[in-house]
Structure 1
Amino acid sequence: MREKRLTVFSPFRGREIGGDETSALLPKVNPPHLFCPSNVQGLSPNPTGEEEMGWPRKQARHWHPLQTAYHSLDSFSSCVKYLSFFWNLVFFVAGLLILAIGIWGLFHKESLASERITYLGSDPMLFFVLAGLVASTMSLLGCLGALFENTCFLKLLCGGIITFMIMEVLGAIIFFSLRHQIKASLQDSLTAAVLRYQDDADLQFIMNEIQAGLQCCGVESYQDWKTNLYFNCSSPGVQACGVPSSCCLDPLENGTILNSQCGFGTLGLEEFAAQSIIYLGGCVPQLSRWLDDHTGAISSYFVFLIVIEIGSLLLATKLQADFAFAKTRC
């Protein structure tokens, strides 16, 4: 009986191959442009002999589309990838710590209670919450974008960094241009804090922190506390002719427990006697001197922040370019 022949055309070589009709057909292979050859292990770039069909028969039956759907990076790009991941991971942890501090402050002062929720916008701890939330979210985008090679996350990170840099530069320009108006506004705010010291827990907290941190008392001098209803010398209370404990030189009085009455009666003393117990200078002059003395340090911190943001921006941009280049090789 005459043997029948089956003609097969190779999709890669375009040549005719003969074989028995009963022989096994060649496996169906996806078009080569759907694969990245550098990721296929054991593939010969120039098959010869029995591999003239384009793909080795033994390896073809083990291939799966998911195996070759990923692109590879060179060694330098891989280093940049993991450097970007750990870079963003550090700031992600730092953002979570800032967020935790802000949340702890809100719960500690009971600012989230239903009767005080209307004053939440003026709580200074809200700044820590927002700053930590933004920092951790942006850093998480950088971590996920680098680890999973997601260009969408990296683009969001770049957009956020550029937005913050523009806001910081504009803020610095506005602060320098309106520094005199800002000083007057700060003086008015501190005056209001002195008058309402016992009425608002947030103002009391801010005033105590400013006085203890800057080692000052009052707005222009310690005599400003006479305008407070409770500290006025004509007041019948125990706080009459006194100042807050944050004005004291040694509020602990060499102990471990704060003496809240260390400033009582100091407004009725002479300056020579009072200066051994409390700070006499006001907070506005002290703040002006502090800013003048620490201008270089503040500028260095600002430059350091900008450098960090530029570094994150360059890493994210480099990764996007590497991912795009690696896809073109597939």
Structure 2
Amino acid sequence: MTEVSAQPQSSECIACGPFLPAKAGEGADSRMTFRPHLASTGGKLVRFFTPFLKRLSLKKGKGEEDERSPLVPKVNPGPLFSPFGDPGTGLPEEDQGRCDVLQPPSQSLDSFSYCIKYLTFLWNLLFSALGLLILAIGIWGLLDKESLGSERIAHLGSDPMLFFVLVGLAVSTISLLGCMAALCESTCLLKFFIGGVITFVILEILGGLVLYSLRHQIKDSLQNTMLVAVLRYQDDPDLRFIMDEIQFGLQCCGVDSYQDWKKNLYFNCSSPGVQACGVPASCCLHPLENGTISNSQCGFGALSMEEFVAQSVIFLGGCVPQLTRWLSSHAGVLGAYCGFLLLVEVGPLLLAIKLLAELAIVRAQGWQQVPNPGPPKGHLH
């Protein structure tokens, strides 16, 4: 049997090559050349990187196997959601509580929540119609008097119809926002609606307190305003309408007495017109003839009559004293009316708060039902 001699094979380190093959022409003893400094450095590098390379290789291989394995469920991470903006949602701190973050599909509302939803919608729909009606009246008044024209636009701030426009615009905007919020089940719109109603109620309460605390100054201001209405009775249709309604409703004439109409240019006794020494028809005791036809000349010549004669034709008392007595005698009714108005406004506010809470609970339950992707527990054999 032929003896086979084993030839020594060249050995080379993969990382740093501490053993290098001998060069041609060198002896057998020098076939392997050892370099100690390279061996030491290479060994440290190998020991440092080997654990990371093993982990990376295992993760990559395991992920590929999981993708190919039909037994491992593929679960997509659910959308980030928290109805209260909790820090444990995984959202960045600046994005918590934002309305544009994806929310899980909301579960079905129960019957009670649906009643709240549609009751909120109908209540706000009614207020929207009322606000749009007030807005239309204000715009119609401005257009009818041509207050938006270039010549009268400077006096727009003192136009009473501007008040109707602003109130109608505010009421219709907030109410339409409430309708959309309830119908779309939008938490963002509900929050805006709640904030708007709270602001509106606070402004009304503060306005009432200011009016009550400044009632004496308001009386003087009202007296001056009505005097301006007397002076501009024929020139401003709005002031004429307001003055006629006050005189007809309170059964009064003038500011402090019927003699105030002498300050009007047309009703002054020195005026050459047919209205000289007269008062408006709204001052008359019986402005309607036979109860149907308005007699616009019933007050003509009343300022030239003796007082005991004039009292059988017109009202002699002024409107400011009459208004003061009316407010004092109807204080309870006015308080009840203001309370009812606040109750009507607070009603949809409470419904919106309840609906917001119901939506938060339902969507939180929907989020809990979204499967949470976790690390694969292993393969089924």
Shorter-normalised TM-score: what interval? Answer: 0.7 to 0.9
The whole-number CA distance in structure 1 between the counterparts of 2:248 and 2:187 is 48
Whether 1:328 aligns to 2:364 is yes
The whole-number CA distance in structure 2 between the counterparts of 1:314 and 1:295 is 28
Higher mean C-alpha displacement, 273-282 vs 118-127: 118-127
* Structure 2 contact 120–352 (Cα < 8 Å) conserved: yes
The one-letter amino acid paired with 2:288 is L
The whole-number CA distance in structure 1 between the counterparts of 2:293 and 2:145 is 20
Whether 1:284 aligns to 2:320 is yes
Q: Tell me the TM-score normalised to structure 2 length.
A: 0.68
Whether 1:8 aligns to 2:70 is yes
Whether 1:105 aligns to 2:141 is yes
CA gap 1:7/1:146 in 2 versus in 1, 3 angstroms: closer
Match for residue 89 of structure 1 among 112, 125, 144 = 125
Match for residue 173 of structure 2 among 117, 125, 137 = 137
Q: How far did 1:180 drift?
A: 0.6
Whether 1:275 aligns to 2:337 is no
The runs of at least 4 consecutive aligned structure 1 residues that moved more than 6 Å come to none
CA gap 1:213/1:273 in 2 versus in 1, 3 angstroms: same
Partner residue in 2 for 1:190: 226
CA gap 1:78/1:200 in 2 versus in 1, 3 angstroms: closer
Point out where structure 2 has 5 or more consecutive residues left out of the alignment.
Answer: 1-67, 81-103, 367-381
Partner of 1:329: helix, strand, or coil?
Answer: helix
The one-letter amino acid paired with 1:262 is C
The whole-number CA distance in structure 2 between the counterparts of 1:155 and 1:199 is 47
Partner of 1:238: helix, strand, or coil?
Answer: coil
Cα deviation code 1:234-293 (max 9, x no counterpart)? 222221111112212222322644332221100111222212221111000110111112
Match for residue 201 of structure 1 among 224, 232, 237 = 237
How many residues are aligned here?
A: 277
CA gap 1:7/1:186 in 2 versus in 1, 3 angstroms: closer
The higher radius of gyration belongs to: 2
Q: How far did 1:30 drift?
A: 4.3
Partner residue in 2 for 1:240: 276
Q: How is 1:284-303 mapped onto 2 (pairs within 5 angstroms)? A: 284-303=320-339
The whole-number CA distance in structure 1 between the counterparts of 2:141 and 2:287 is 23
Match for residue 219 of structure 1 among 248, 252, 255 = 255
Point out where structure 1 has 5 or more consecutive residues left out of the alignment.
Answer: 1-5, 12-27, 36-67
Higher mean C-alpha displacement, 200-209 vs 123-132: 200-209
Match for residue 263 of structure 1 among 293, 299, 302 = 299
The whole-number CA distance in structure 2 between the counterparts of 1:214 and 1:114 is 37
Higher mean C-alpha displacement, 231-240 vs 287-296: 231-240
Partner residue in 2 for 1:319: 355
The whole-number CA distance in structure 1 between the counterparts of 2:331 and 2:291 is 35
Q: How far did 1:204 drift?
A: 2.5
Match for residue 109 of structure 2 among 73, 98, 101 = 73
* Structure 2 contact 106–362 (Cα < 8 Å) conserved: no
Partner residue in 2 for 1:44: none
Partner of 1:9: helix, strand, or coil?
Answer: coil
Q: Tell me the TM-score normalised to structure 1 length.
A: 0.78
The one-letter amino acid paired with 2:117 is K
